Every structure is written in structure tokens, then in C-alpha cells.
Chains A and B, each alone.
Chain A
Amino acid sequence: MKPRRPRPAYRRWMRWLTVIAVSVGVISTLSYGSGAHLVVRYLDPPFGRWWNEHEFALMIFSACALGMLTAIRFGARLLDDAVARGRSASISIIVGAVLLVPLARLSAALARLGWSGADTFDTYAMDSIVDKVLIAGVYFLKIACFGLIAGLAIFAAVAMAASRGAAAQRQLEK
């Protein structure tokens, strides 16, 4: 049996970040859609208040982060050079983290748009809990899709620079 090669550090990081984004995203989306903050408020009023104020922000940030992380993971698979791959992924994660807030806000604004141009949250207040959870879920996925496009663009720019850096490093090593 071949011994398993240790995973590069960036892959471990990306895995953990993806797990965190999915967990926070699922919890905040379910809570936002079902109005579960009421239960949290009942159990722990100070934390419930904080949760109620931030669950929407957590939902959009985790959705955008998930989209970007998926894009970076997919983009890294496109590169054959291990040095360039690791470098591109690591730098893309840092750039993505720096741009997360404005990108999440932009993606959230875009995800509200429906087919007809009407706000998809127009009738949200009147919908049933199941509808609300579904609408919030679709909203989460739409934000993640816009995050994915932005993440791919970030990775494309970084990968070009990183492949140059990897080539320069190889030349120096020679």
C-alpha cells in the first residue's frame, strides 16, 4: 500500500473554512427563514438579541464566502503546477477575505432581484414558515453563485501572478 502524501496546508485551511461557511450558512439561513431567533431570545435574551441582529449578515457573508471558496478550490484543480496551485489558492483566500464584505453586500443586493425585476422578498412577511425557509435557502444559493463568479475572477488574476512567481522561484533555485 502506498503511503498517503500529507495534504498541503492550504488545502486543510480551505477545507476548514468551507466547513465553517457551510455550517454558519445552514444555521443562519434556517434561523432567519424560520424565525428561530425567537427561541434563542427566550433561552438567552442577550445572545438572542445579538443573534437576531446578526443572523442575516452571517447568512449573506457565509453564502458569499462559500461561493468564493468553491471557486478557489475548483480553480486550483485547473493548475497542474503544485507550487503555483498552492500559492494561487493561498493568495486568493486572503484577497477574498479582504473583499468579502463589499462582495457579500453586492451579491446580496443582486440576489434579491427576481426574473421580472421585482424584489424577491416582496411578499416575504406574509409567507408561511416553509415558504420563508425556501426563499431564504434560494437567496443563500443565489448569493453563493455570485460569490462563485467573483471568486473565479479573483483566482484568475491571482493565478497568473502566482504562476509567474513560481517560474521565477524555480529559476532562482536553479
Chain B
Amino acid sequence: MLTMRILVLFIHVTAVIVALGGSLFSTFALTPILTGELEPPDRVKVVRRVIRRLGAIVLSALVILVATGMLNVLYVGAISLLLAIKLVLVVVVIVLAIHQYANLGAKIWRVSENGPAPELAPLLARFRRVGLAQGAIVLAIVYLSLGLTRVAGPIAIG
């Protein structure tokens, strides 16, 4: 049966899939293919637009995640140690996402305005590193969440 609680959880999980899936696709599928298939000027054009669009998607997903996450905690009805650790990691992920998309992403957008530039490569490398760190922390959060759903009462699965 579809209850408000399940709906909130559904939106929460969907937002994780969108945010994490988008980042993973960009890092492991799109970027290597672009490097192999396109010449630097065309690649830069695509990369800067992908970063900008992905930034909007990931950061919007983060807002939805926080909003539905807070409602989820209310439904779970307890703040356990696992949840406290998860919340700290969530803060770290949001900080990394702001740094990655709103700071590095904006810099990449500015630097690549007139095509490839020498300072672009280190910025893209940093962007990728921050993205990977963020992805790893999100996976840790997902793992902690599995623990939470199994420990919590009425919504527990299995």
C-alpha cells in the first residue's frame, strides 16, 4: 500500500539514484569516451555543458535528499549512532558537491569559455578527484542506510 512514508522513502531513494548515477555515468562512461572520440575543442565544449547540467541535477537532487531525509528521520522516530554518522557524512557530501559544481565547475566554465586552455587540465583532474571522493562517501552513506532500515521498526525489510 502506498503511504506517505513509502512515498517519501521512494523519492529519497530516487534522488540518490539520480545524483549518484549521474556522477558515475559522467566519470566512468562519458568522460573516457569523449577523450577518445572528440578533438580537444569539441570535447571542451561538451564537457563544460555536461558539468553545468549535471551540477544542476546533482545539487537539486541533494536538496530533495535532505528534505525527504529529514522527513524519513521523523518517520523512523529515533536518532541512532548510525544515523548521526550518516548525517555527518551528508554534511561532508554537500560541502564537496558545492565545491565540485558551484566552485570548480564554475571555474571550468569560465576558463573554457574560449576553448581549450592550459589551466583546464588540472581543474578537470581536481573536479574528477572531488567527484570520486564524493561518490565513495555516498556509497558509505548508502551502506549505513541499509543498516538503518534493518534496525528501524515498522519499515524494516526482511
Contacts and interface: CB of A to CB of B under 8 A. Distances in A.
B73 A156 contact: no
A163 B102 CA distance: 6
A109 B78 CA distance: 11
A106 B103 contact: no
Contact of A78 (B73, B95, B109): B95
B66 interface: yes
B77 A88 contact: no
Given A113-B79, A115-B79, A149-B87, A156 B74 contact: no
Interface in A57-107: 74-75, 78-81, 84, 88, 106-107
Contact of B102 (A106, A107, A159): A159
Interface in B50-76: 52, 55-56, 59-60, 62-63, 65-67, 70-71, 73-74
Interface string B108-131: 011000000000000000000000
B107 interface: yes
A114 B79 contact: yes
Contacts of A146: 70
B97 interface: yes
Given A110-B73, A114-B79, A152 B110 contact: no
A148 B110 CA distance: 30
A152 B98 contact: yes
B91 interface: yes
A88 B87 CA distance: 24
Contact of A164 (B52, B67, B80): B52
A136 B56 CA distance: 39
23 contacts: A75-B95, A78-B95, A78-B99, A81-B110, A84-B106, A110-B79, A113-B79, A115-B79, A115-B81, A117-B78, A146-B70, A148-B91, A149-B87, A149-B90, A150-B70, A152-B94, A153-B94, A156-B97, A156-B98, A160-B55, A160-B105, A167-B106, A167-B109
Interface of B: 52, 55-56, 59-60, 62-63, 65-67, 70-71, 73-74, 77-81, 87, 90-91, 94-95, 97-99, 101-103, 105-107, 109-110
